[in-house]
Amino acid sequence: MNDSYLIIILFGSFLLLMAMGAPISISLGVAALSSFLYLDENPIKMVQIAFTSVGSFPLMALPAFVLAGALMEAAGISKRLVVLAESLAGPVTGGIGAATVLACMLFGAISGSGPATTAAVGMLMIPAMVKRGYDKGYASALTASAGGLGIIIPPSIPMVIFGISAIGLSVPREAIEMHGEFGSVSISKMFIAGVLPGLVVSISLLILNYIRCRRRGYQGTAEGWSVGHILHAIRSGFWSILAPLVILGGIYSGFFTPTESAIVAIFYTLFVGAFIYKELSWGKIFNSLETTTWLTGRILMILFTATIFGRVLVENQIPAVVAESMLSMTDSLYLIWAMIILFLLFVGMFMETLAAIMILTPVLLPVSYSLGIDPTHFGVVMICTLSIGFATPPLGENLFVASGISDTQLERVTKQAMPFAFVSILAVFIIAYFPDITLFLPRFFGY
């Protein structure tokens, strides 16, 4: 089969349906079906792929964290955390927005998933920002953009996948002769290396949030900081603050995985809400379950069709063909980095992150070896770049989660998210062009 015709059919039908106003899930599904018919494959395979797509163990964290967030709202945990965040934000312009970014960093260290981080933080912080006068679209866009930190801040599922994909690749002899021995790739090294790049991306979001909030007039509290108010918020929200500490402590001590931590969060919230705060009733529990079912179902419908769409790309090696053609154009390190980042941004818009890592690592990592790029550095840049895809159209999962939580049109959230995507891209270029940002901590700890 001619790859050019397949690309035209796949992307042409998708873009045509989008232009006609069809829902994204329908556009993806019809485009994938058209490709299946062109390839003379049995359409029943689409159902099998869709069914398999929900069998991922890490995916279980998404509905679990959605439910945990809904229960936190019903149990009174979220409002106490919001009070604490506001007391810490004080008079700083856009302070509650900055607290949202910091919360995404914290939950990213819990979930290792972009959509799960967006769901968990969004259920808490989007309503809080709206109550403080923030535009719904802006609050949703900020949360969706910061949710991408979920796969950068360790522990990170994509880092594990990259480590597995990279370990089996041998370093070309020519690369060793030209650049010397390369550092080994390990998952623990990837985790350590992701800390400072995660901070760079976070700082870029915080700076832009301050600038945009200042222009929009989103001010902090009028009375300024109050030590007494902060201490009161800490005392009243002690059990709320303890929740992430219990979850993180359990993960880093090895008691449970990030996915299992979502279940722990649910039971912890039920206990605190029912027996300590005594604000959780059966009616609120059923409302939380209803919210979780609706939001998760909406996301999974898109995930089904997006997975099928990505599988068509994968099985026909379209990303590999494009990557090899792109990397044959120049041997300049900076131009190669620019092309790799732009290519990964494009792939991240249309393909699931884990699939992109598994397919493109064997293609792109040998090229990085030939240019003297440390494989750990390459992996971190790859993951940082793909994380932006969570908040960019047409398949930005974080956008769907945030728009569903705030009940805001997807187009409105997407428009507000574009400036955050732009500064995140700038942050990725900084990380790529200054490898010491990635490699300083691994070297410090002797990796």
Q: Where are the domains of the chain?
A: 51-163+182-299+394-444
Give per-residue pLDDT as tens, 260-289: 777 888 888 899 888 888 888 888 889 888
What mean pLDDT comes out for the span 170-194? 64
* Residues 6+ positions from 108 with CB-CB distance below 8 Å: 117, 147, 149, 150, 151, 152, 153, 198
Mean pLDDT value of segment 358-372: 75
Residue 161 reports pLDDT greater than 70: yes
Which is more confident, 148 or 189? 148
For 197-211, 223-237, 409-423, which range has the lowest pLDDT when averaged over its residues? 223-237
Using left for φ > 0, alpha for ψ between -120 and 50, and beta otherwise, residue 221 falls in beta
Say if pTM beats, i.e. exceeds, 0.75: no
Q: How confident is the model at residue 232 (pLDDT cuts 50, 70, 90)?
A: confident
What region does 298 belong to: left with phi over 0, alpha with psi -120 to 50, or beta? Answer: alpha
| Residue 44 pLDDT level (bands cut at 50, 70, 90) | confident
Which band of pLDDT confidence, cut at 50, 70 and 90, is reported for residue 362? Answer: confident
- The angle formed by the CA atoms of residues 291, 29 and 35, to the nearest 5 degrees, is 160
What is the reported pLDDT for 299? Answer: 66
What's the pLDDT score for residue 294? 79
Q: What is the mean pLDDT of residues 48-55?
A: 72
For the chain, report the end-to-end CA distance as a whole number of angstroms: 46
244: which 2 tokens? 């992430």
Higher pLDDT, residue 441 or 308: 441
Give me the pLDDT at residue 396, please: 81
Answer yes or no: is pLDDT of 109 > 50: yes
Residue 10 has pLDDT above 50, yes or no: yes
- Structure tokens given for 103: 């919360």
DSSP 172: P
How many whole angstroms separate alpha carbon 237 and alpha carbon 243?
10
Q: What's the mean pLDDT in 65-86?
A: 73
Q: Is 295's pLDDT higher than 80? A: no
pLDDT at 317: 66
Closest CA to 316 of 25, 35, 30, 33: 35
264 is written with which tokens?
């722990």
| Average pLDDT of the residues in 327-333 | 74
Query: What is the C-alpha to C-alpha distance for residues 403 and 215, in angstroms, rounded to an integer?
Result: 23
CA 262 to chain centre: 16
Determine the number of helices (DSSP H) and then strands (DSSP E) in the chain: 23, 0
Instruction: Give mean pLDDT, residues 439-444.
Output: 87
Q: List, for residues 371-384, the tens digit of each pLDDT value.
A: 778 889 999 999 99
For residue 180, is pLDDT > 60? Answer: no
The reported pLDDT for the residue numbered 177 is 47
Omega within 30 of 0 (cis) for the link into 442? no
| Maximum mean pLDDT: which of 18-27, 230-239, 246-255, 305-314 | 230-239
400 — pLDDT class (breaks 50, 70, 90): confident
* pLDDT digit string, tens, across residues 128-146: 888 888 899 999 999 999 9
